[in-house]
């Protein structure tokens, strides 16, 4: 197992290197000059030159990249051009809201999508199967921004059940924190639940038609045991892989939802950084997102091996 994890980590190194080169190069293509915004309205030439020297913008691009990569490997992602704060400190501030939103959305998606997929597979070509497919297609089709605005108008403005926006740390006020995150989690979780439902249904249908499932039924095992203990356990492998990838996407793709509900997370941080030409923050956020994706893939691979005896025997 340790050798397997080591191989996966070795594969991740060149991947991260390519991503870092791509991200660093892409920032240079952004229009505008962040130094002009930092220098104020007067834009004194001496101030401009001082800032360019301070942030190494006069150095060759290749040297800038090597210096940035060397600092990143030591845990230093640079200093924000706008706030003059360490990028790692800004990420540490903005990451908890996004993680909480992603976890709550994923929990909602699993609790809704997986059971619906199992029921749809066991009731294939019935009314429930058709209704579940229609609901899943609707969840994939409805835009997040429209659903979020409609929920705010109905649940917050008309009914007054939940806060329309904002964020409270779960460590400060758990009840208020969960209330503020319920609607954003529902908005993000609907599409995920639909995706999990469709993949769970497909995986279960494939397993339910297997020979060993027919043998289990022929032995007189209860249908509940056949479905949950035999079928679902084998169908779980691709679902875990998909779930890990979806969770990685949540960490990176909650930008629009965070903007709608005014959640001070990763989404707002990177949007503000792009508009302010804050290169260091954009590079740091994208690099951390890439690391998150690789970690989630590694976790999925480990779970896949733990749940699949044939893969354990092959290691």
pTM comes to 0.80
In order along the chain (315 residues), what is the average pLDDT of each group of 10 residues? 74 82 72 63 70 72 81 81 82 86 89 88 85 83 84 88 84 87 89 87 84 79 78 78 78 75 81 77 82 80 72 61
**Rounded to an integer, what distance in angstroms lies between the CA atom of residue 59 and that of residue 195?**
47
Residues 93-263: name the CATH superfamily: MetI-like (1.10.3720.10)
Domain ranges (residues) in the chain: 93-263
pLDDT of residue 15: 83
Q: What are phi and psi of 194, to 5 degrees?
A: -65, -45
pLDDT of residue 28: 65
Query: Residue 35: CB partners within 8 Å, gap ≥ 6?
Result: 48, 51, 52, 55, 57, 81
**Rounded to an integer, what distance in angstroms lies between the CA atom of residue 236 and that of residue 238?**
6
């Amino acid at each position: 197992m340790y050798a397997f994890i080591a191989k996966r980590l070795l594969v991740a190194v060149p991947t991260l290197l390519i991503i870092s080169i791509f991200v660093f190069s892409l920032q240079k293509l952004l229009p505008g000059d962040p130094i002009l915004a930092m220098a104020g309205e007067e834009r004194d030439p001496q101030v401009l030159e001082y800032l360019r020297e301070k942030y190494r913008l006069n150095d060759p691009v290749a040297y800038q990249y090597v210096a940035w990569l060397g600092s990143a490997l030591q845990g230093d992602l640079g200093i924000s051009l706008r706030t003059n704060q360490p990028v790692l400190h800004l990420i540490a501030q903005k990451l908890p809201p996004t993680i909480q939103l992603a976890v709550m959305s994923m929990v909602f998606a699993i609790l809704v999508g997986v059971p619906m997929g199992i029921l749809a597979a066991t009731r294939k070509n019935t009314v429930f199967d058709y209704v579940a497919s229609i609901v899943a297609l609707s969840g994939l089709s409805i835009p997040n921004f429209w659903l979020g605005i409609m929920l705010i108008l109905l649940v917050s403005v008309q009914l007054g059940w939940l806060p329309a926006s904002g964020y409270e740390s779960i460590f400060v006020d758990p009840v208020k924190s969960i209330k503020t995150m319920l609607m954003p989690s529902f908005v993000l979780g609907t599409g995920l639940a639909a995706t999990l439902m469709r993949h769970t249904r497909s995986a279960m249908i494939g397993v339910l038609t297997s020979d060993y499932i027919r043998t289990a039924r022929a032995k007189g095992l209860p249908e509940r045991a056949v479905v949950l203990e035999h079928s679902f356990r084998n169908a779980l492998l691709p679902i875990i892989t998909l779930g890990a990838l979806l969770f990685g996407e949540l960490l990176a793709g909650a930008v629009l939802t965070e903007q709608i509900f005014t959640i001070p997370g990763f989404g707002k941080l990177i949007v503000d950084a792009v508009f302010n030409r804050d290169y260091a923050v954009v590079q740091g956020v994208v690099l951390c997102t890439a690391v998150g994706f690789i970690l989630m893939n590694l976790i999925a691979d480990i779970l896949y091996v733990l749940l699949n005896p044939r893969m354990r025997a092959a290691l």
